[in-house]
């Protein structure tokens, strides 16, 4: 079964208290950014992520400015853990249109859902200084065909006269809902459109449904970032300006929205960091655990990762033990490594832990941890002094549970 951009999530979860307004709900992954620029990619921007339960794999579509192409295109990557990503052999998977088409000067902000045995990608197409929404479909998520009736949501008027983008689409009870960011030349606001087939859309007559605050961190502009439905409630993650943080709002009908709190749930980094500005993201909830891939802007655009607990995100008081994680988790970064790597693990409870590294023959080459560790997130560095380049395995034993991962050492 495929779970969409809004309903999948991480292999590890950390519960974060939301008792004070000053705390953020999301915890950033210490190995950020996880998708960076390279010789081929100048920008990595605006990810859409889903989890394919049939193959146990995360799938990501994101906007990229390639060194070989003048405009933004859509790239595709996969991951087994949501952190370490592998680019598709053939990229980009969706390219901008030809001169004169609505998307000839770039495509960005992909939003991919899976419904009725078909992938649907909603994306922002740019034509000069105007932005509209296009649709492409695919059977495998790699080979895409643009819909002949594009753009499926054309230019509006008034608060969205210049254009719109950052669309977030969900499908529930036979209805497609699109939350999109409109621009009037001065500020952004969020509108709603609905459809029975995902192709022909009707704007809500009372748009915009979400506006900037009268004052505060999100008083200038708001952009749709991600949304999902939980217990009959709609949740909207949005970017607020001038502070450039991530906010959270809830609604019973996707029309009337209330901010969950007066401060951001995810803040940008300090000046000079890779994420001094935070932009749009993608949220997935898997096994009751939310994950968030967001765009950070420093000297360039890159993609980071954050995680939390569903109870914290939805402001529902957790039941039972509130300080426990959902499962044992293990990973490392960077991978491949040269010459050192950091191995992290997350414990659901305090336990006796043994963390060891093995070569491809199964011979143990290092013991990194062999003692009782507290519940929560831990990190240890492996600095191989004499081990040659190649594939290595690292295994954690915690009580009766164990997890094994592989990594590549390059010297």
Name the average pLDDT for the chain. Answer: 85
Point out the least confidently predicted range of 132-141, 300-309, 317-326. Answer: 317-326
pLDDT of 243 > 50? The answer is: yes
The more confident residue out of 5 and 174 is 174
Within 10 A of 301 (CB to CB), how many other CB atoms are there?
Answer: 25
Among 15-29, 183-197, 223-237, 321-335, the range with the most confident prediction by mean pLDDT is 183-197
Residue 310 phi, psi (nearest 5): -60, -40
287 pLDDT band (50/70/90 cuts)? low
The more confident residue out of 41 and 380 is 380
d(CA 364, CA 360): 10
For position 327, what pLDDT does the model report?
Answer: 66
| Second-level CATH architecture of 329-409 | Sandwich (2.60)
Helix, strand, or coil (residue 378): strand
Q: What percent of the chain has pLDDT over 90?
A: 51
Summarize the confidence of residues 113-142 as an average pLDDT: 93
Summarize the confidence of residues 271-292 as an average pLDDT: 84
Beta bridge partners of 295: 303
Summarize the confidence of residues 304-331 as an average pLDDT: 58
Summarize the confidence of residues 122-128 as an average pLDDT: 92
Summarize the confidence of residues 118-125 as an average pLDDT: 96
Q: pTM of the full predicted structure?
A: 0.73
Point out the least confidently predicted range of 23-27, 164-168, 322-326, 375-379. Answer: 322-326
Q: Which stretches of 196-297 are assigned E, i.e. beta strand?
A: 202-203, 221-230, 233-241, 245-251, 258-259, 277-286, 289-297
Nearest to 392 by CA among 356, 359, 344: 359
318 pLDDT band (50/70/90 cuts)? very low
For position 377, what pLDDT does the model report?
Answer: 73
121 pLDDT band (50/70/90 cuts)? very high
Contacts of residue 376, defined as CB under 8 A and 6 or more positions apart, other chains included, come to 14, 325, 346, 347
Beta bridge partners of 60: 49, 77
| Tokens read off for 76 | 């595709």
8 pLDDT band (50/70/90 cuts)? very low
Where are the chain's structural domains?
Answer: 2-314, 329-409
Q: Do domains 2-314 and 329-409 have the same CATH topology?
A: no
For position 6, what pLDDT does the model report?
Answer: 32
For position 18, what pLDDT does the model report?
Answer: 30
pLDDT tens for 50-85 read 999 889 899 999 999 887 777 889 999 999 989 999
46 pLDDT band (50/70/90 cuts)? very high
For position 314, what pLDDT does the model report?
Answer: 62
Residue with tokens 């240890």: 380
Residue with tokens 């336990």: 351
Nearest to 309 by CA among 4, 24, 1: 24
For position 10, what pLDDT does the model report?
Answer: 28
Summarize the confidence of residues 163-189 as an average pLDDT: 92
Q: Does domain 2-314 have CATH number 2.115.10.20?
A: yes
Residue 19 phi, psi (nearest 5): -75, -20
For position 317, what pLDDT does the model report?
Answer: 33
Summarize the confidence of residues 187-197 as an average pLDDT: 96
Within 10 A of 18 (CB to CB), how many other CB atoms are there?
Answer: 20
404 pLDDT band (50/70/90 cuts)? confident
């Amino acid at each position: 079964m495929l779970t969409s951009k809004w309903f999948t999530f991480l292999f590890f979860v950390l519960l974060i208290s939301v008792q004070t307004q000053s705390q953020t709900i999301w915890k950033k992954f210490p190995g950020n950014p996880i998708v960076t620029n390279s010789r081929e990619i100048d920008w990595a921007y605006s990810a859409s992520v889903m989890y394919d339960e049939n193959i146990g794999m995360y799938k990501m579509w994101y906007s990229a400015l390639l060194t070989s192409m003048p405009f933004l295109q859509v790239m595709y990557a996969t991951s087994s853990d949501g952190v370490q990503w592998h680019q598709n052999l053939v990229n980009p998977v969706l390219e901008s249109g030809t001169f004169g088409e609505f998307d000839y000067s770039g495509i960005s902000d992909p939003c991919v859902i899976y419904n009725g045995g078909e992938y649907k990608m909603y994306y922002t197409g740019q034509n000069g200084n105007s932005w509209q929404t296009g649709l492409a479909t695919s059977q495998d998520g790699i080979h895409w065909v643009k819909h002949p009736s594009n753009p499926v949501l054309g230019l509006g008027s008034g608060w969205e006269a210049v254009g719109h983008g950052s669309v977030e689409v969900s499908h529930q009870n036979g209805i497609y809902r699109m939350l999109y960011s409109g621009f009037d030349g001065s500020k952004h606001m969020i509108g709603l459109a609905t459809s029975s087939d995902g192709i022909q859309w009707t704007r809500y007559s009372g748009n915009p449904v979400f506006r900037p605050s009268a004052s505060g961190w999100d008083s200038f502009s708001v952009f749709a970032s991600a949304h999902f439905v939980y217990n009959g409630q709609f949740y909207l993650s949005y970017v607020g300006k001038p502070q450039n943080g991530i906010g959270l709002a809830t609604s019973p009908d996707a029309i009337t929205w209330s901010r969950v709190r007066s401060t951001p749930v995810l803040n940008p980094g300090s000046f000079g960091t890779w994420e001094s500005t935070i932009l749009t993201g993608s949220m997935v909830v898997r096994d009751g655990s939310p994950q968030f891939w967001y765009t950070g802007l420093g000297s360039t655009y890159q993609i980071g990762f954050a995680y939390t607990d569903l109870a914290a995100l939805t402001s529902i008081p957790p039941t039972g033990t509130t300080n426990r994680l959902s499962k044992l988790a293990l990973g490392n970064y960077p991978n491949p490594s040269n010459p050192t790597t950091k191995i992290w693990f997350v414990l659901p409870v305090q336990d006796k832990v043994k963390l060891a590294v093995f070569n491809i023959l199964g011979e143990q080459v290092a013991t990194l941890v062999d003692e009782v560790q507290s519940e929560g997130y831990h990190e240890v560095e492996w600095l191989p002094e004499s081990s040659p380049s190649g594939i290595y395995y690292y295994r954690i034993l915690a009580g009766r549970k164990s997890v094994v991962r592989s990594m590549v050492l390059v010297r």
